[in-house]
Amino acid sequence: MKKIEFTSQELSILLEKVQNCFEDLNYKITKDDLMSDKDVMELFDCCPKTLEKLKTNGEIKYFKLGSRCYYLKMMIYLQILEKYND
């Protein structure tokens, strides 16, 4: 996997966005909030088999619409932060 680094400013912006989303009960998920399998594989620089393992092991949260898997961008970044900033 790629090493992903965030500056403290990027982290605080991300945290603020997440807090704002959960405070606003009328928050609507937009297309920009979602990532596809391809987007996640590019982010992690991994192959489809590795992505499948991450999903199966519960390391990445996702949901399905029809036969396609989607990921919430904010959740992916938060999961990265939880895993690598402990």
The domains located in the chain, with CATH, are 28-84 (1.10.1660)
Q: Please report the pLDDT score of residue 25 as a whole number.
A: 65
pLDDT at 41: 94
Beta strands 34-35 and 68-72 are antiparallel
Residue 75's pLDDT is 85
Task: Taking residues 40-50, report their average pLDDT.
Answer: 93
Stated pTM of the model: 0.67
**Bridge partners of residue 86, in order along the sequence:** none
Q: What is the mean pLDDT of residues 31-55?
A: 93
Residue written as token pair 């909030």? 33
pLDDT in tens, 1-30: 455 566 777 767 777 776 676 666 666 778
